[in-house]
Amino acid sequence: MPRMTAARAAVEILKLEGVDAAFGVPGAAINPFYAALKASGGIRHTLARHVEGASHMAEGYTRARPGNIGVCVGTSGPAGTDMITGLYSATGDSVPILCITGQAPRAVIHKEDFQAVDIAAIAGPVTKAATTVLEAAQVPGVFQQAFHLMRSGRPGPVLIDLPIDVQQTEIEFDPETYRPLPVWKPTASRAQIEKALSYLLASERPLIVAGGGVINADACDLLVEFAEITGTPVVPTLMGWGAIPDDHRLNAGMVGLQTSHRYGNATFLESDFVLGIGNRWANRHTGYRLDVYRRGRTFVHVDIEPTQLGRIFPPDYGIASDAAAALELFVEVARELRDQGRLPDRSAWIAAHLRRKGTLHRRTHFDDIPIKPQRVYEEMNRAFGPETRYVTTIGLSQIAGAQMLHVYRPRHWINCGQAGPLGWTVPAALGVATADPGARVVALSGDYDFQFMLEELAVGAQHRIPYVHVLVNNSYLGLIRQAQRGLDIDYQVNLEFENLNSPEIGVYGVDHVKVAEGLGCKAIRVTDPAGLGAAFEQAGKLAAEHRVPVVVEVILERITDISMSTTADISDVTEFEETATEPGHAPTAIIPLGSSAA
């Protein structure tokens, strides 16, 4: 039996489980693992500037492609605690990442040794499993189980903590005979699917709510086929956006308090039956007024995690199943019903939804200087085609982007949904671009999100990871400012100051162009909406030529309120701009796939 260090065995298992990239920061307690990483080869390591950044890079890497599992590495003390935000984000959004931490020697863990911390206990609530391995011979089994857990049931992150002496201990391990454990996922029965379909058949105005579980299961084609067979419009959630193209006639738009479309909310409120697949009824989608959300509607809920069924509200019928397994049966039974002539005619319902989709838009075309944010997204739709992978996290920029951008493919809206940590966007975009180096990756941030982890831009410069970062700058914590309107305050949300070194930017404070250039990247500043298109085109060329991140900073007007509900009620969204119908102010068109405009 071959002998090797436990650290080397861990690295060999990573490769056998399909890992080819890792993100992290070396330190004394994890150096034996790094030595094994170098000696083994086959895994590309990207050095982060902040360990939280490494965890978000791992998230972006996982989210970009089916089957990916991002890995982040650091020591147990400050590095492990820094990665907790990434683990929380991954847990909330059902993203499998593996966090590997290097711990103090076993004999001193409990003696308050330098940088020793019970990271497994800290990480436990935000992982599927968190383990400090105290016996070197257990390392192969712990790693094998970690990949099994991350892939089985509802996907999610795992943390493995390795004391330095455990890493250095030699064990017997044979990589040639290692095999991954089988992945377990619940599957619906035909009887369950037939019962679920009986609710749909009895309805007059049905909808499908497609969540991130549909994308995780790589089941988007099945979703679209099922919707087409049954004539059922689809509402993607924020995490499910891209499961059905925006320009598909059955895409009914998003629903919710903030990241929603006017036509999406209107159609939902007219529905009488909702089939949720791979979604968790998140509050930004349902609102807090569940009586409004549920009134007059029957619900069937399909989710891979049995405890999600009934967690927010009791459905009329629930099925614990992987989305792909359920949709395969939904398609099979729906085909039979179609062939038997038993499917209702939904043409009137579809026509009503299309009328709303064709008229209920928010105005995007403004020529104002300073620039209104709506115009930025209009120009992004023109400049960036359907192959673009958008990456964003939180704030008015994300909310307005979700209301006004267009997404046509799964995994092309990569968004931190539940946790929404500021600073997520830069490192996540680097992870996405690492996973898909040939893709057009476009990140979207407000100025405060951008400032949280902008040091990670240097990672893109060092490792030649190109992408375009659209930075909308109003020198405000815009979402919090808008929320404070209800309290009649504007307190500690203003980022303005006179920058003595950059007087040309006035009260916008931080000179993001100089900062980005100082970190080895390229940057462009735009102050006139007429220059947005050219700036986006130039940014793409600079990214391709220099192979570094390119920041496009757009100077916005200081205060713009974005449409959303202030009453936690999806039927009561405050609109700050009327539907635009006059010439020259038409709502942004949904550009068909393959058109020259795309």
Q: Mind telling me the catalytic residues?
A: 25, 51, 422, 477, 480
C-beta separation of 211 from 237 below 8 A: yes
Q: Which CB contacts under 8 angstroms, 24+ apart, belong to 317-321?
A: 317/195, 317/196, 317/199, 319/188, 319/192, 319/193, 319/196, 320/186, 320/188, 321/186, 321/187, 321/188, 321/192
Closest alpha carbon to 251 in 358, 399, 119, 386: 358
SS (H, E, C) 60-84: HHHHHCCCCCEEEEEECCHHHHHCH
SS3 content of the chain, % helix, strand, coil (to 5): 45, 15, 40
DSSP element (H, E) containing 513: helix 512-518
Whether the bond into 373 is cis, omega within 30 of 0: no
Strand partners, 161: 101, 132
Show the CA angle centred on residue 188, arms to residues 221 and 234, nearest 5°: 40
C-beta separation of 23 from 73 below 8 A: yes
403: phi then psi, degrees, rounded to nearest 5: -75, -30
Show the CA angle centred on residue 421, arms to residues 310 and 282, nearest 5°: 20
* 105's tokens: 């020697």
The string over 256-282, giving b where at least 16 C-beta atoms fall within 10 Å of a residue's C-beta and e elsewhere, is bbbbbbbbbbbbbeebebbbbbbbbbb
* 290's tokens: 């569940």
SS (H, E, C) 338-362: HHCCCCCCCHHHHHHHHHHHHHCCC
Show the CA angle centred on residue 260, arms to residues 254 and 266, nearest 5°: 75
CA distance 392 to 420: 9
Distance set, CA 422 to CA 151, 270, 406 (Å): 27, 36, 23
CA distance 318 to 306: 9
